[in-house]
Amino acid sequence: MAKVASLDDLQELIKTAEQKISLSSNLKELNDYKLEYITGKKSLLNRLTQGLKNLTESEKKSYGQEINAAKETLNSAIKGAEERIHRNYDEEGEWFDVSLPVPKAPIGHMAPDTQVIRQMNAFFTYHGYSVAEGPEIETDEYNFEKTNLPKDHPARDLQDTIYIESPEVLLRTHTSSVETRILSSHKPPLRFVVPGVSFRNEIINQSNHAIFYQYQGVLVDKDVSLANLKATLNEFAKFLYGDKVKTRFRTKYYPEVEPGAGMDILCRFCSGTGCRICKDRGWIEILGSGIIHRNLLAKSGIDWKVWSGFAFGMGLDRIIMTKFGITDIRDLHSGNLVFTQ
């Protein structure tokens, strides 16, 4: 026979019982609590009531009141729990197959182009560049004359132009037209990148398209050096391809720059020994760059004796294709590309 608990102990016991009842998750469990605390032969309430026998009359009275209150509390807790369990009968419910396959909830994706462009923009905005843009229908002036490609320049042959109104109105053949537009309308110092589409009248195949995307960068300031350019591009290559990337900086001709430079990364297919993919060079070209040609600055109204700059440009399509495992450039924008869940 248990000793009669003190008043404090009694309240503690009731609180514990009330909490257990309120957390019971099914009717069977609740029934067990009912037996344990209220209705069972050896239930808490019964034991407490039996304990009354040994008490003085005055003690009996105050204790009896406490026990009655406890009984009420527990009964109402049981009732509440019963209602709750009936409402949420599924907590116990029927057999359920949690492994049942379901369609994935749909989410939206940015186009591969946007994803790659945003990634690059993140790097360059961190380094103080603005993201710029310009028209796609262009004039000969901004596309050619100001980019140091005057009429009859041999390099114009390399850029088979698509004309709307020959020879003055055309589709820009490179994003350098945005470079000349911004240099012509803003005062240095300037830093900006231009992600955008360009057009050339070229035979298209698996790896070349007449409509292609470029990413161009321009910095104009005082005393700009090839060392600045090389360091910037090295950091960019690390950002794109990881810290371990090996880069190479070499002379390359572009009419918009002088001196001109190309940047290669070590071929990851042969690690530099030379293979078909890198044309036996051991290296893969990722971008073209250089110190902005004095003629280009002059034609854009910038005094090259005070200001100098560098520019770089790269094709985006190949990077996008590699990242997303697309093997045919014609699939990029023809309506074939689908995000499935």
Partner 1 sequence: MRVPYGWLKDYLEIDKSPKEVANILTLAGHALDKPIFGEEGDKILDLEDRGNRADIMGIVGIARDLAALTGKILKFPLTAPLPASDNNKFIPKITISSKKVLRWTAVVLRNVKVTPSPKWLAKRLASYGIEPLNNVVDVTNFVMVELGMPLHAFDLDKVDEINLRAATRGESLVTFEGTKLELDENDLVAADSKKPLTLTTAIGGRSSGIAPTTQNILLEAGLYDQPTARRSALRLKIKNETSQRLGKYLHPKFCEVAIARSLELFKDILDVSPVTPGFDYYPEELGPTVLNLTFSALNTIAGEEVKPTEAKEILKSLEFKILNETPLNITVEVPYFRTDVVGEADLIEEVLRIRTYEKIPLFLPNRPAPKKLEFPERDLEDLARDTLTKLGFNEVVSQQIIDEKDTIKTGLFNENKIIRLQNSWNEELNIMRPETLSGQLKYGLSYQKHGVTTIKIFEVGKSYTQTGTGRGLEKYKETRKIAFSANLDFLSFKSFVETFLKELGNFEPVWVKEKLVIYKEQKGAILKTNGEEIGEVGELKQALLSNFNLEGTWCHACFYTQELLKQAKPNPASGVKTSIENLVAEDKTFEVDARAEAGKLLNRLRNEMDPSTKIKFVGIFENDELKKQNKKNITFNFKFALKKAKEESEKLKNLIVTA
φ/ψ of 53, rounded to 5, equals: -50, -40
189: preceding bond cis by omega (within 30 degrees) = yes
Check residue 223 for interaction with partner 1 (CB under 8 A). Answer: yes
Check residue 270 for interaction with Zn ion (CB under 5 A). Answer: yes
Q: Which of 146, 172, 174, 191 binds partner 1 (CB under 8 A)?
A: 191
User: In this structure, what token pair is assigned to residue 112?
Assistant: 């591969």
φ/ψ of 248, rounded to 5, equals: -140, 135
d(CA 254, CA 232) in angstroms, rounded, equals 19
Other CB atoms within 10 A of residue 50 CB: 13
Check residue 278 for interaction with Zn ion (CB under 5 A). Answer: yes
Check residue 72 for interaction with partner 1 (CB under 8 A). Answer: no
Residue 18 or residue 138: which is nearer to partner 1 going by CB?
138
d(CA 160, CA 143) in angstroms, rounded, equals 12
**Residues of this chain, 130-149, that bind Zn ion according to CB under 5 A:** none
Using the contact rule CB under 5 A, the part of the chain among 3-11, 235-243, 244-252, 264-272 near Zn ion is: 264-272
Check residue 114 for interaction with partner 1 (CB under 8 A). Answer: yes
In the stretch 270-309, what mask flags binding to partner 1 with x, by CB under 8 A?
----x-x--xxxx--x-----x-xx-------------x-
Shortest distance (Å) from residue 275 CB to Zn ion: 3
Q: Which of 133, 239, 245, 246 binds partner 1 (CB under 8 A)?
A: 133
Check residue 207 for interaction with partner 1 (CB under 8 A). Answer: no
Contacted entry of Zn ion, partner 1, none for residue 154, CB cut-off 5 to 8 Å set by kind: partner 1
Check residue 183 for interaction with partner 1 (CB under 8 A). Answer: no
Q: Write the secondary structure of 130-183 as one string of H (helix), E (strand) and C (coil).
A: EECCCCCEEEHHHHCHHHCCCCCCCHHHHCCCCEEECCCEEECCCCHHHHHHHH
Shortest distance (Å) from residue 98 CB to partner 1: 24
Q: E-assigned strands of the chain? A: 130-131, 137-139, 163-165, 169-171, 190-199, 211-221, 247-251, 257-266, 283-292, 308-315
Which residues sit at the interface with Zn ion, rule CB under 5 A? 267, 269-270, 275, 278
